[in-house]
Structure 1
Amino acid sequence: MAGGDNKKAEKKPKANVSGGGKKKEVKKETGLGLSFKKDENFGEWYSEVVVSGEMIEYYDISGCYIIRPWAMSIWEIMQTFFDAEIKKMKIKNCYFPLFVSPGVLEKEKDHIEGFAPEVAWVTKSGQSDLEVPIAIRPTSETVMYPYYSKWIRGHRDLPLKLNQWCNVVRWEFSNPTPFIRSREFLWQEGHTAFATKSEADTEVLDILELYRRIYEEFMAIPVIKGKKSELEKFAGGLYTTTVEAFVPNTGRGIQGATSHCLGQNFSNMFDITFENEKGEKAKAWQNSWAYTTRTIGVMVMVHGDDKGLVLPPKVASVQVIVIPVPYKDADTQGIFDACNATVETLSEAGIRAEADFRDNYSPGWKYSHWEMKGVPLRIEIGPKDLANNQVRAVRRDSGAKIDLPRASLVEQVKEILDKIQESLFEVAKQRRDACIQTVKTWDEFVEALGQRKMILAPWCDEVEVEKDVKARTKGEMGAAKSLCSPMEQPEIPEGTICFASGKPAKKWTYWGRSY
């Protein structure tokens, strides 16, 4: 992936300067158009499209990015959905400090070992060294759980269900990539405590279903619900469930969001005990779960094209852009009035619509600009449209054009936006499914890996075997690892053996390279 060298990534995207023809001259002057093609240089294309689409701006600290309004609005739309859903589950929002004392952070050995290389430390205040360095949270289990121990006394104090919307810092040294791998990112993190394991198990899957909905219903990205291997699970947890996405252009899986059952590991460590109904002392069962601004990067990777971003209507802050197309002797004011009226009509119906009245840009330039930003639907109004009491609608995903009578505009625009949302999901699913390959032997596995597939293989579910797969596939592209074992398991015929060890297979598991 591009992004490891910030100087390189911070260069302004080049204008499309291939000569000849008036249209290309306009592009040259305005700097519109991408220099890189998605299929030819994916890393550079991605770096360019998130900047040109006005989603991020590079910052002067490597691995940190400014999230601009165009991307922040997407995060807010998902936040509104998720926050309302967890409130239905009686989960309450709170906020814990950014800083962690070393004693608390290092209390849970397995957990901190999983994060140790990424923990950033504050060592100075002004010119003075701090007596004890303070860590900046990479996640908040160790920040929150000493207080869960204080607040939970009896069975009536349970369940305790808290969530916070905040930032975390993980001082990544592998290639920083906007949204996908950054040193600071936004997320929500839920931390819940229950009297019984069955309550915790139920919530893990309820939250996982919300994550599936974020990806599939909002982002139009197909995901696989599954369970992580022992090697890949959350450090210090009992088990980890995940929604896994796949980026066909790079042949890499990507962890979409995770929901962990922590078991009683942290309640043992932080003494989160309660008196049950029988008057006996018991340990709480705990969960933690999170999704991050990474979701936005996955959406760009899956849907974007050589013209720029392609935003699913459900998350686009502007679903419809209205552009006036006046000619020399046209009734310019009439066209502007029609554009204003169109925005008003659509806005009143709950459609997020805006008009672009800037007079220092040509309509053609505006088309390219809003295509770059991925607006799902463009409406053009020119003299002919004014005369016929209609508008011209152009879909961002397919480029299809249709004339719509203004009398039934709202119904038809809603219908088109729904179709765009459905179509983006279906196209992404077809592309993803075409990259999935079922294998039974090591040779088939290696061949499929070379073809950048997401591989479904029978596995014996042994840690040493997964370590061996990683070691045997290590190369320039990175090693293969287990992505998840799908919740919906295909049948394993009797006598099926593990693709990597030849031992009896216990489950089907997805494998591949990943971000």
Structure 2
Amino acid sequence: MAKVLTSQAEDFPRWYQDVVAKAQLAENGPAKGQQVIRPTGFALWERMVDELDDRIKDTGTENASFPLLIPQSYLSKEEQHVEGFAPEVWMVTHGGGKELEEPLAIRPTSETVIGEYMAKWTKSYRDLPLLLNQWANVMRYEMRTRLFLRTSEFLWQEGHTAHATFDDAHEFTLRILHEVYADFMENVLAVPVLRGIKTVEERFAGALNTFCVEALMRDNKALQMGTSHELGQNFAKAFNIVYQGKDGQEHHAWTTSWGTSTRMLGGLIMSHGDDNGLRVPPKLAPVQAYVMAVKDSDEVHDEATRVHERLKAAGVRSKLDLRGDIAFGRRAVDAELKGFPVRIEIGPRDLKTGEVTVARRVPGTKEAVALDGVVDAVQDALAVDQKSLFDEALRRREEVTSQAANLEEAIEIGQSGMAVVPWAEVGDAGEAKAAESKVTVRCLQRADGTVPDSLDEDGLVAFLARAY
């Protein structure tokens, strides 16, 4: 295929920008830090929404919608929260040609406004747990922006829950981490993730603990893909979220919040993309099979249409391309850039032999397949290539992950890979020192790889790397 992208080895950031532009995923918006997500990119986001939303609802969580504009006084109720977000908040000071009596914050996150309504809706232990989620846009002021990865406005889901006990809230926080985020990212996005707990420095403002899923990109930098926050009773006390317990007494609820965003699109690109463009995992792909007429003739169109309909009937997300006014080579390059997992090419020669050409995006192979076996061949390829992408990403992470005996070794390893080091060798002071070299503590785990309940546990290990 003709070279249309900067190679990853030559300039990874430029390669990323090339893919976003030439695969028609997104463009910069009219104001600083905004992004316009084009149909190809938005179709990927819609598939992410569908898959995540099913998992979220399986936990018993219900979707709702809350206001975009939040009174400044709401933000001020939780001191740590407002302090943590103050530099990122956009404020509306005028409306209807007049100065507002109280400035309104454009939501950077919704703990405060949702907390206000949780307080109204929670009266008895019978009202708990209260499990809410919304799909929305948020705005955060960003100095350095990059499409999908860090923008002033982005799309996300944010879950907010209230529970009667600490144990119930803690269990739900981890359930979201494992059953929603990690399951989706590994089994649909085909991105292996580290599950762990954030340090105090990296913790969400106002939380007791922040749990996270972290992935390693193809340039060996880490990307935080999602977080689940254990908020304790901090927000419940700030917003008076109280309930009458079985004992007849009033108690403050225990709350959580959790979210992931269009940043996952950036993670998808940088986890699986190659020098020919995107490689979209088949389970995620809006278009799993791209059926192309090589030549513009009625016979070819009829056969391509039949193959397309057979694939759809078998549950394959198929797209039919009968365009004769655009060169086949150009259409094939476009399909490669957009990462369609399977491309089926049908021309006059194929009609004579009773075969079609099946091109697979992940391994980059082409083979002739009998027309009557094309559906089975496509389904087999989709299953194999989904696993192949995950295995490749996991192998790549393992190859650049090394044990370190101390902080100095961890910082050195973290410059170009991922270091694993006892947290006792790092600590808060070591974390600050590593940050001077642009190496950060991505998460902490127990020595057996499981997620600790808190930072107080002994024997924790830290993962250090440069990050987006």
Q: TM-score, normalised on structure 1?
A: 0.86
What is the alpha-carbon distance in structure 1 between the residues aligned to residue 447 and residue 377 of structure 2? Answer: 38
The partner residue of 1:274 within 233, 238, 243 is 243
Does the residue aligned with 1:72 lie in a helix, a strand or coil?
helix
Once residues 270 and 167 of structure 2 are traced to their aligned partners in structure 1, the CA distance between those partners, rounded to angstroms, is 37
Q: What is the aligned counterpart of 1:387 among 352, 373, 376?
A: 352
Shift of 1:128: 2.7
The residue aligned with 1:508 is 461
| Correspondences of 1:63-462 after superposition (within 5 Å) | 63-173=33-143, 175-209=144-178, 210-249=180-219, 251-326=220-295, 332-450=297-415, 452-460=416-424
Give 2:165's aligned amino acid: T
**Cα drift, residue 89 of structure 1:** 2.1
- CA apart distance, 1:505: 7.0
Give distance in 2, aligned partners of 1:487 and 1:292: 27
- CA offset at residue 266 of structure 1? 0.8
Aligned to 2:247, the other structure's residue is in SS state coil
Which deviates more from structure 2 when the two are superposed, residues 353-362 or residues 430-439?
A: 353-362
Name stretches of at least 5 consecutive residues in structure 2 with no aligned partner: 451-456
Is 1:474 matched with 2:436? yes
| Percent identity between the two aligned chains | 38
1:48 deviation in Å? 1.5
CA contact (8 A) 1:470 1:480 kept: no
Runs of 4+ in 1 over 4 A off after TM superposition: none
Q: Deviations over 1:220-245 (max 9, x none)?
A: 11101111112211110111111110
3-state DSSP of counterpart to 1:448:
helix
Does the CA-based 8 Å contact 2:133-2:157 persist in structure 1? yes
Q: Higher mean Cα deviation, 465-474 or 337-346? A: 465-474
Q: Distance in 1 between matches of 2:262 and 2:407?
A: 36
Structure-2 separation of matches of 1:505 and 1:459 = 9
Which residue, out of 485, 488, 495, partners 2:444? 485
AA aligned to 1:111 is H
Counterparts of 1:442 and 1:196 in 2: how far apart (Å)? Answer: 38
1:206 Cα offset (Å): 1.3
Deviation at 1:280, TM superposition (A): 1.6
Larger Rg: 1
1:438 and 1:457 in contact (8 A); partners too? yes
Partner letter of residue 270 of structure 1?
A: F
SS of equivalent to 1:445? helix
Once the two structures are superposed, what CA deviation does each residue of 1:154-182 show, in whole Å capped at 9, x if it has no partner? Answer: 11111111111111111111x21111101
> Counterpart amino acid of 1:90?
G
- In 2, Cα distance between equivalents of 1:154 and 1:52: 55
Alignment-derived partner of residue 31 in structure 2: 61
Alignment of 1:13-24 (within 5 A): none
Cα-Cα RMSD: 1.9
Distance 1:348 1:212 in 2: 31
Measured in 2, the distance between the counterparts of 1:352 and 1:488 equals: 42
Q: Secondary structure at the match of 1:514?
A: coil
Separation in structure 1 between the aligned mates of residue 95 and residue 282 of structure 2, nearest angstrom: 47
Offset at 1:82? Answer: 2.1
Cα distance, 1:355 vs structure 2: 2.1
> Helix, strand or coil for the counterpart of 2:235?
helix
SS of 1:260 mapped into structure 2: strand
Q: Is the CA contact 1:197–1:263 (under 8 Å) kept in the aligned structure 2?
A: yes
- 2:89 and 2:141 in contact (8 A); partners too: yes
C-alpha distance in structure 1 between counterparts of 2:429 and 2:413, whole Å: 19
Q: How far apart are residue 126 of structure 1 and its match?
A: 4.7
Tell me if the contact between 1:99 and 1:134 (Cα under 8 Å) persists in the aligned partners: yes
Taking structure 2 as the reference length, the TM-score comes to 0.94
1:10 match: none
CA–CA distance in 2 between the matches of 1:216 and 1:322? 28
Residues matched between the structures, number: 461
Cα shift at 1:47: 1.1
Q: Which amino acid aligns with 2:420?
A: L
Deviation of the 1:443 alpha carbon: 3.4
Q: Give, in whole Å, the separation in 1 of the partners of 2:184 and 2:73.
A: 37
Distance across 2 between alignment mates of 1:125 and 1:90 = 39
Query: Are the equivalent residues in 2 in contact too, given 1:99–1:136 (CA < 8 A)?
Result: yes
Which residue pairs with 2:454 in the alignment?
none
Deviation digits for residues 442-485 of structure 1 (CA, Å, limit 9, x no counterpart): 332233133x11111001288xx33443335524xxx2221111
Distance in 1, Cα, partners of 2:319 & 2:349: 21
Amino acid at match of 1:129: E
Q: Is 1:42–2:16 an aligned residue pair?
A: no
